[in-house]
Amino acid sequence: MIVPAEVVDYDPQWALWFEAIRARLTPYLAEFPNVIEHVGSTAVPGLAAKPIIDVDVVVPTADLVPAAIERLTAAGYRHEGDQGIPGREAFALPPDTVHYHHLYVVVDGNKAHQDHVLLRDHLRIDAVDRERYAARKRELAHLLTTDRTAYVEGKGALVLEMLARASGSLGVGASGRTSPADH
């Protein structure tokens, strides 16, 4: 499956794609407590985004992360470690994937999970920041085919600013690290 490399206007189909992905995952994760959340730009109505669904499998405690990894591996995903983002376990897609997505396992309330939820929820309610973010992504979109790292880094300062505002603390996201899948 080819990785989408464009920023497009919001598509209401993204919510349906997420539901299809959740339906695929649910049977594999049914044996222990978890929540499957739609995060990232495609979870924000009205926000332009890459047509990539970001999914967090949220477990209540760190001791459940290995079981989640095992079950997702059984579902055909390939575990790729934290990819430099502590507290966020990433997965490569199974070959039979219908809707391109990024899949992560996070612990409820850890920094990786908080960053995903804070930014998503902030952009859902703040139309000015939603438009600023869309404009920045469109400005950088040409990099998606040549330098995804530069695309992510180009959004980094704005993401950190919005996370700080959303959390009410200038300390949130102080590492400056975001991931290619996020946002």
Structural domains present in the chain = 13-167 (3.30.460.10)
Q: Are 57 and 34 in contact (CB under 8 A)?
A: yes
User: How is the chain split among helix, strand and coil, in percent rounded to 5?
Assistant: 50, 15, 35
CA angle at 101 for the pair 84 and 63, rounded to the nearest 5°: 50
Q: Which tops the pLDDT comparison, 59 or 170? A: 59
> Given this model, what pLDDT does residue 3 score?
84
61-104 pLDDT per residue, tens = 999 999 999 999 999 999 999 999 999 999 999 999 999 999 99
Contact 5, 48 (CB under 8 A): no
Which element (helix H / strand E) includes 159?
helix 148-167
Q: What is the pLDDT of residues 114-167, one digit of tens each?
A: 999 999 999 999 999 999 999 999 999 999 999 999 999 999 999 999 999 998
